[in-house]
Structure 1
Amino acid sequence: MKKEEVPQDKSNLASANIREMMYAVDENGKYTTSLSTGWDPKTIALDNAIKEIEERIALAKERVANNQTSPIEYYMELHKMDLTVLASYVGLWKWRVKRHFKPSVFKKLSDKTLQKYADVFDISINQLKTFNGGES
């Protein structure tokens, strides 16, 4: 695209005074960089992804409140992780982390194991054990 055609649509980036660098062709036909405040299709996709993440966090919070899962799942969703990422951060197999989602198993975890999760989520063991709806 030509430098003067670089999209300048309203987006979340623009409201935060952040601009995205894009490549464009200048008047001499050479590639150059140009700053963009946003592009509507990208903004829509980003907004949809954020909405989906917020829904997954709310669902996990509800499942913890109903004793259907442990706070580990909630904090995993809150920190935008998946099972593979969380397992690698805590240094455990995925099946073990998934097992720790069970409230009955979670209650029996050692402080050493809980500390691994607390460190990853940047919270205390007490906050992890006494989940109060995700409020710190």
Structure 2
Amino acid sequence: MKKDEVPQDLSSLGKITKEVCYATDNTGKYVTELSSGWEVKIKALDVAWNDIEKRIESAKEQVLNNHASPLLFFMEYRLMDIGILADYTGFWKWQIKRHLKPKVFNHLSDKKMQRYAAAFNIKVEDLKNMTLHED
């Protein structure tokens, strides 16, 4: 693809970042060019984000129905799995699985709650109440 043919279709991520693409210049040499995206990639990202939004909503319902602790909601919201959360908190994976149970979560110490809150970059009270503050 030639340098002037690099797609510049604006997506939601295109407002935040650009992607480096390789293209040929007038002399036929490969050069890098910034692209804000292209239609096919935009559609693929939209599908992925819709899936993520459904997972977040499902997690929220599970918490509200007392089938899971707020950890599940924040894990989905922050795009984390148990392994990633374990790395951030220092808890073992089996401990996090146990803390996903509402009865266990409700009896966690303040120190453990603080570790989770720090991992999600929220306050302990927000963790307990499943409250989001968009910045």
**TM-score of the pair, normalised by structure 1:** 0.88
Q: Which residue of 2 aligns with 1:122?
A: 121
CA distance in 2, matches of 1:37, 1:60: 32
Q: Does 2:69 match 1:70?
A: yes
How far has the Cα of 1:82 moved from its partner? 1.2
Q: Percent sequence identity over matched residues?
A: 51
Q: Which residue of 1 aligns with 2:54?
A: 55
Instruction: Report the 3-state secondary structure (helix = DSSP H, G, I; strand = E; otherwise coil) of the residue aligned with 1:80.
Output: coil
Instruction: Report the 3-state secondary structure (helix = DSSP H, G, I; strand = E; otherwise coil) of the residue aligned with 1:104.
Output: helix
CA distance in 2, matches of 1:17, 1:124: 27
CA RMSD of aligned residues (A): 1.7
Instruction: Report the 3-state secondary structure (helix = DSSP H, G, I; strand = E; otherwise coil) of the residue aligned with 2:22.
Output: strand
Runs ≥4 in structure 1, deviation > 6 angstroms? Answer: none
2:2 maps to amino acid: K
Question: What 5-or-longer segments of structure 1 have no aligned partner?
Answer: none
Q: Does 2:5 match 1:8?
A: no
Q: Which residue of 2 aligns with 1:134?
A: 131
How far has the Cα of 1:22 moved from its partner? 1.4
1:5 maps to amino acid: E
CA offsets, 1:27-70, max 9 Å, x none? 21111121222111111111111111111111111111100000
How many residues matched? 133
CA distance in 2, matches of 1:6, 1:58: 37
Q: Which residue of 1 aligns with 2:32?
A: 33
Q: Do 1:9 and 1:40's aligned partners in 2 also have CA atoms closer than 8 Å?
A: yes
Q: Which residue of 1 aligns with 2:98?
A: 99
Q: Does 2:107 match 1:108?
A: yes
**TM-score of the pair, normalised by structure 2:** 0.88
Question: What 5-or-longer segments of structure 2 have no aligned partner?
Answer: none
Instruction: Report the 3-state secondary structure (helix = DSSP H, G, I; strand = E; otherwise coil) of the residue aligned with 1:12.
Output: coil
